[in-house]
Chain A
Amino acid sequence: MTSTDSPSELSSALARQAESVASALCDQDARWGASGWTRRRFLSGMGMVGVAALGTQLVTTKVAYAAPNTASGNTLITVFLRGAADGLRILVPASDGLGVGYLRSVRSSLVPADADLLSLSGTSGWALNKAMAPLMPFWATGELAFVPAVSAHGISRSHFQAQQYLDRGGSDTASTGWLDRVLQQLGPGTTFRALAEGSALPSSLTGSQSKLVMNSLKNFAFPGWDGVAGASETAIRALYRGMPGPLGEDVPITLGALATAAKARAGAGVHNGAVYPSGNFSSALSDIATLLRAEVGLEVATVDVGGWDTHTDEAGDLDRALTSASKSLAAFLTDLGPARRKRVSIAVVTEFGRRVAMNASGGTDHGHGSVMWLLGGGLARADVFGRWSALSEATVASGDVPGLNSAFAVLGELAQKRLNVGSLSKIFPGQSVAPLGVASVY
């Protein structure tokens, strides 16, 4: 669709496209038989003209019929700090009222000195680890916020269980991830609607929704000698033509995405003077920035960052990791620029927090309440949201920060207000999701 199309041409083109997609799928439905497609589901979604509005790389999954299009044009990115990042050294409760006295008494060498803290103006004494200085400009613009004491009922102190629990949205054994259920509820989208940067599908995206998993945009190209790439793609399309089932869908989707990826790559480049540090996290974010600029219809993206399990020598290890993560995130936001990042929200999560007291090895063991970072557009304001009880012998439940604020409430609020996902009852079943007021409606 070019910008010269008049509104009426546009809408009739969209209707034609929707019609042809519907008939192609009807045909496919008839051939697929036993794999879960039913006529009823198909018919229940016939009012799907809006589907086509998302562009030519339509995702034709069965769930495309489940719901009307609710696309907001916004993007939600989740960054998962795997290994349980120590919230108390990230967002420091640095005033007496927040309990810094108690904190110093049980982990003195892990509480940064005043000179190594960046105070968060307008809060009751919260301060950031100085390693996060690159993010401070976004506090000034209302594009940075935090929620301390985050957890959810049912999260244990096992990395495995807790990660699964968060990824699967409130159950470590659910068969789908919460982001997959978000996609299902949003209805149809483009080939690039859901992206996991990494080598494998994260559990949050497990499920039947089509998604792209890629190691890097750079490698998302037809492999091998360029001289035969075009002819190879043509041959593969022919070999899969008319084939029903997931494979018959995914091969053309993938080949179709190659062109978009190449186009996006052609426009790759860092904007607005952003400087990405080296590393996988940076390159993943830079890929996402490139795709956002290319307007490929990205709705949700996930990136995993490992290395936060600081049982020993935490001060140095954690601060190095924080410096790198903060530089990467700051570069990403800068790269997007003020206008585009209004449509992009980022939630940085980790599976649980760490013990309040330091252990014998200069580190911290597995604890409970953690810190969530929120960045980008759509935040209500720069603030520290949610409940907090001043740290003291009495409030520190069995040595841990209590889980006063539900992780699912925060993620759910972002999904609702930024992606227009509607009800959260199927996304986080049985979880407490009363919003904390972190986000503004898109």
Chain B
Amino acid sequence: MTKIWPTADQAMHHAAHHAVAPLVWDPGSHLVSRFTFGPTAANRAYLVKHTVESWWQGQVTAGRQYSGYRGHAAVAAQGPLLSKSPSEVRAWLKAHGGEYGWEAMDQLSRVTLGLQVWSKAQLYETLVDFFSNHLNVANHNGDVWNTRHAYDRDVIRKFAFGRFSDMLVASSKHPAMLVYLNLAESNKSAVNENYGRELLELHTVGLGYSESDVKNSARALTGRTLYGDHRYVYDPDLHWTGPIRVLGFSHANVSATGGESVGDAYVRYLATHPKTAAHIARKLCQRFVSDNPSNALVSAVANAYLKNHTEILPTVHTILRSEEFWMTRGRKVRRPVENLIATIRVLGNPVSDMGKALDTLDWMSQSLGQRPLDWAPPNGYPDVAAAWRSSGTLINLWSFHRGFAQNWWDGFGKIKAESLYGSAKPKNSGQAIVALTKRLTGMTFSASHRAALQKFLAEPASTPLAKSNLQWYLPHLIPLILDAPHHALR
């Protein structure tokens, strides 16, 4: 059972102090491990002095102020095509070597990565990431070369702090989605069921519809297609007329000209369906709480979703007001790119050249198999630990940890390893380990884990810093702390 409190702070204060070993109860770290792309020295410090609700309010304000790509100016500057329309992108590409080039899609994945690392609006970025996957349109796909960025901007980012029903209606009219799931080619004489089915199964109610529901779903949406310049248009000539019945929705659908509003009403009906609420609530809880959230929490979040007319922020805020959320520290394994980004955030690597830094992040995310927005099937990247098991990924992450601690990577400036000790300089080897682990993971390691690190340094904890092997081994000890489960879990 989980209890939902009026405020997040009350929930935090009343929650039992549970954590998955080796992590320990630490509400501040927990909050920023779940609702940002990783703790930083600064956001950990903030929570020592402020309430959870004030942090939340700050993030809501930041998300409104820095919506779209405004969360980080230097990152946004790397995506000049992202503000253009599909036809403008095509014209630009034509003038720059190839009408069908992939530059807009490239800019989108690079800017997405950059904002995940550096945007001031971290809550916003986590929700953008969630809904990009929930209403997935695979980036880096020749069919959406000039529209995918516009989908990100005009559907996902536009409504990430708004209502899911509005986001869903917008997605049902967006050229990228229409092409990706073949709605653009669906018409009354050749109904394509691809979108009609995924709208039910993936975007809204989940499994539990009938084949007749799929047929009707697809029919209701015929007429939504594209003009030659990749603009959405509703073409009545393509619309199937006749009675529509899907789940509890029915409509006489008698006129072709009225078909678009029938489709809109149908999509809005689905957005507010209790099964949709449960489906989205479960996925949100899986994202922010644990791979196996309790049914009680899921139904509380689903209720909030319905009560707030599909508004995303109050729905998500309900998670924060649950005791269960605060009792799940360590129950999620960071997915590969989350681990990569959390590494940079906690180390605070400076950027020497943003273009090159984003290139670095882009190839790293590819080698980890989690380039943002690039999951090919319509169901979005999986969000449970079991889906991400890979030895090559572990080795890659261990390599990236070393590179970020030892200043190998293109586009990034140098960090000074000693600065990670903090203001009070440790006196000996053992104190150095304590200071570093605290700085990088927010916690003091257990005696046996400290002993493992001490053994790595091949000296007793009492060794004075001036005589310690840390003089040579510090840049090798830092990545070891990031390899540990303390950093791998969130």
List residues of chain A with CB under 8 Å of any chain B CB.
Answer: 34-35, 158, 160, 163-164, 172-173, 191, 199-201, 203, 206, 208, 210-215, 219-225, 228, 231-232, 234-236, 238-240, 243, 245-248, 250-251, 253-254, 257
Contacts and interface: CB of A to CB of B under 8 A. Distances in A.
B398 A222 contact: yes
Name, among A211, A248, A250, the residue most crowded by chain B CB atoms within 10 Å (CB to CB).
A250
B399 A208 contact: no
Contacts of A213: 369, 390-393
Chain B contact residues: over half helix, strand or loop, or mixed? Answer: helix
B449 A239 contact: yes
B395 A243 contact: no
Contact of B458 (A191, A231, A248): A231
Contacts of B473: 228
Contacts of B402: 223-224
A215 B367 contact: yes
A191 B369 CA distance: 20
Nearest to A214: B392
Contacts of A231: 455-456, 458
B453 A247 contact: no
Contacts of B451: 238
A235 B456 contact: yes
Nearest to A199: B367
A235 B450 CA distance: 10
Contacts of B22: 239, 243
B485 A228 contact: no
B377 A253 contact: no
Contact of A224 (B138, B182, B376, B479): B479
Interface in B338-390: 366-370, 376-379, 385-387, 389-390
A164 B483 CA distance: 33
A35 B384 CA distance: 11
B78 interface: no
Contact of A206 (B387, B399, B479): B387
20 contacts: A164-B376, A200-B368, A201-B390, A214-B391, A215-B392, A221-B395, A224-B402, A231-B456, A232-B456, A232-B480, A234-B455, A239-B483, A239-B485, A243-B21, A246-B389, A247-B333, A247-B485, A247-B489, A250-B391, A257-B391
Contacts of B449: 238-239
Given A164-B377, A213-B393, A248-B485, 7 more contacts: A173-B378, A173-B379, A235-B480, A238-B449, A239-B480, A243-B21, A250-B390
B448 interface: yes
Q: State which size class the interface on B falls in.
A: 35 or more
Contacts of A214: 391-392, 395
Contacts of B138: 160
Nearest to B458: A231
Contacts of B484: 236, 239-240
A235 B453 CA distance: 6
B167 to A, nearest CB: 22
A415 to B, nearest CB: 22
Contacts of A191: 391
A225 B406 CA distance: 11
B480 A236 contact: yes
A165 B487 CA distance: 36
Given A172-B377, A223-B399, A224-B406, A235 B455 contact: yes
Contact of B391 (A206, A212, A240, A243): A212
B255 interface: no
Nearest to A229: B476
Given A224-B479, A231-B458, A235-B452, A247 B390 contact: no
B292 interface: yes
A412 B446 CA distance: 51
B156 interface: no
Given A199-B369, A232-B476, A253-B391, A34 B292 contact: yes
B87 interface: no
Contacts of A251: 394
Given A160-B138, A215-B367, A232-B456, A246 B391 contact: no
Contacts of B398: 222-224, 236
Interface in B1-35: 21-22
B195 to A, nearest CB: 13
Contacts of B480: 232, 235-236, 239
B392 A238 contact: no
Given A172-B377, A224-B399, A239-B449, A200 B369 contact: yes
B308 interface: no
Given A224-B476, A239-B449, A250 B394 contact: yes
Contacts of B127: none
Name, among A35, A219, A222, A235, the residue most crowded by chain B CB atoms within 10 Å (CB to CB).
A235
Contacts of B367: 199, 215
B377 A199 contact: no
A244 to B, nearest CB: 9
Which A-B residue pairs are the 4 nearest by beta carbons?
A200-B369, A223-B399, A238-B452, A254-B391
B141 interface: yes
Contact of A246 (B182, B292, B333, B455): B333
A228 B389 CA distance: 26
A254 B394 contact: yes
A236 B483 contact: yes
Contacts of B379: 173
Contacts of B292: 34-35
Contacts of A220: 391-392, 395
A239 B452 contact: yes
Contacts of A206: 387
A247 B488 contact: yes
A223 B400 CA distance: 9
A250 B376 contact: no
Contacts of A248: 485
A154 to B, nearest CB: 12
Contact of A208 (B141, B386, B390, B393): B386
Nearest to B141: A160
Nearest to A249: B389
Contacts of B291: 35
A123 to B, nearest CB: 36
Contacts of B366: 199-200
Interface string B96-136: 00000000000000000000000000000000000000000
B390 A245 contact: no
Contacts of A212: 390-392
Name, among A214, A223, A240, the residue most crowded by chain B CB atoms within 10 Å (CB to CB).
A223
